[in-house]
């Protein structure tokens, strides 16, 4: 797992979170490229939420179901109630984020071809 995405289990609160730290150099550079392709795609935490909600709903509805979000300027957090099934969802979501960042051309293609369908912040 990369340093820009972490899964954090919180037994006390009964939740599991996927934290996507968007102020990492690589993620910032990718966000700048996405913004060049679509001026609405200013990739702060809120627009990563918009992008990931769109992407997951259309490509991974199994991961999207039951997911809550808490975006900030410098990070995006997705969370689930702590259950064995949701632990699997959280792990899969972290892998999806890592795959998108490591294969950034997928991100650019979506922004280029589907950017007008995304409800940017």
> Coil, strand or helix: which one is 103?
coil
> With bands split at pLDDT 50, 70 and 90, how would you rate the model's confidence at 121?
confident
Average pLDDT over the chain, rounded to whole?
95
Q: What is the number of alpha carbons within 13 Å of residue 14 lying toward its C-beta?
A: 1
pTM: 0.95
pLDDT digits (tens, 9 = 90+) for 9-18: 999 999 999 9
Percent of the chain with pLDDT over 90: 95
Look up the domain containing 26 and give its range: 5-117
Check if the beta carbon of residue 31 is closer than 8 Å to that of residue 22: yes
Q: Name the nearest CA neighbour of 9 among 76, 96, 82.
A: 82
Return the pLDDT at 117.
96
Number of domains in the chain: 1
Return the pLDDT at 1.
56
Residue with the two structure tokens 């913004």: 35
pLDDT digits (tens, 9 = 90+) for 68-105: 999 988 999 999 999 999 999 999 999 999 999 999 99
């Amino acid at each position: 797992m990369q340093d820009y995405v972490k899964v954090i289990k919180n037994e006390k609160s009964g939740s599991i979170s996927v934290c996507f730290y968007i102020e990492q150099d690589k993620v910032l550079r990718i966000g700048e490229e996405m913004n060049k392709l679509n001026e609405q795609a200013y990739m702060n935490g809120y627009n990563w939420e918009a992008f990931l909600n769109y992407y997951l709903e259309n490509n991974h509805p199994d991961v999207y179901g039951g997911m809550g979000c808490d975006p900030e300027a410098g990070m995006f957090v997705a969370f689930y109630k702590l259950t064995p099934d949701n632990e699997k969802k959280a792990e899969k979501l972290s892998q999806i984020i890592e795959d998108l960042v490591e294969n950034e051309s997928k991100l650019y293609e979506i922004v280029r071809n589907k950017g007008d369908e995304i409800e940017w912040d």
